[in-house]
Amino acid sequence: QARYVEEHRLGEGGCGAVFSGYRIKDHLPVSVQMVVVRQADDNGKNVSVEVAIMLKLAAEADGSVETSAPVSLLEWFDFGRELILVMERPVPAVDLDKYIEENGGFLPEDKAKVILKQLVDAAKHLEDKHIFHRDIKSENILIETGSDVPRVRIIDFGLSCFVKEQSQYRVFYGTEIYSPPEWYGRSCYRCGPTTVWQMGVVLYEALHAGDFNTTSFLKKRLKFKRHLSKNCRDFLDACLTKVPETRPTLEELQHHTWVCRCHLGAPKFKTASAVRQGRRGNCL
């Protein structure tokens, strides 16, 4: 309370309520989240998985300008049975769900392409850091609207985990209606194919007026728009391939013709290293 002012409630994260606020000394917009899930870090100290992941991203940040990035952890406080996370809050920005609504309920293909290119790059960056978000969806994607090019930020790492190559998961964490087909058929899923499936889910909802539902999709109750370009339809089909072993990797998506033809400027994100001076990383 000596450093931050808490304002209105923004919503629910994966593990707790999220509030808007600002830092008193410079009025920097922040979001404040309470979490209670805990895990040991490399030094044996108990921290939440979310904090451990955000600290890893901050420690490995090299100061480079990225086209997409998770929001940064500015500071965190340990109160024993709960943690308070103070995150940067991009302004002006809305989540992708709201952004789609404000643009008439669906996006034109060119605008969806700009967002998906950045999202795939961000997801690949997390994969390279051995981080599995597990719940990438429109509500967990912020769109910065302060320039002509919408800029993508990933939020809410409350369900995320560290992952080893080829690890399989037999307990589902995420949004059930978006779960990959292999969860229904095999009761297990893996990081890479699941994240690629989520890319398809996000793109489907960006292009169509209506929510995606895996069960409805598998029963062929969801239809694709007829006027999508051939490359867009191929990208969507590839992401939503039912057999996980035949889905492309995130790296292959990065080189897909549809997104390769999307040329972006260089968004200047405030990455973790850029805010390191304002982050104390302490336990109170």
Q: Which of 135, 148, 156, 234 is catalytic?
A: 135
User: Tell me, what amino acid is at 5?
Assistant: V
236 is in an annotated binding site: no
- Which residue from 12, 70, 77 is spatially nearest to 282, judged by alpha carbons? 77
14 is in an annotated binding site: yes
127 is in an annotated binding site: no
16 is in an annotated binding site: yes
45 in helix, strand or coil? coil
119 is in an annotated binding site: no
Q: Are 4 and 24 in contact (CB under 8 A)?
A: yes
95 is in an annotated binding site: yes
Q: Distance of CA 96 to CAs 47, 85, 137, 141, 151, Å?
A: 29, 22, 8, 6, 11
188 is in an annotated binding site: no
Give the contacts of 110 (CB within 8 A, at least 6 positions apart).
none
Angle at alpha carbon of residue 55, lines to 265 and 255, rounded to 5°:
35
41 assigned to active site: no
Q: Are 139 and 177 in contact (CB under 8 A)?
A: no
18 is in an annotated binding site: yes
70 in helix, strand or coil? strand
121 is in an annotated binding site: no
Annotated binding site: 10-18, 88, 95
Catalytic amino acids? 135
Annotated binding site for ATP: 10-18, 88, 95
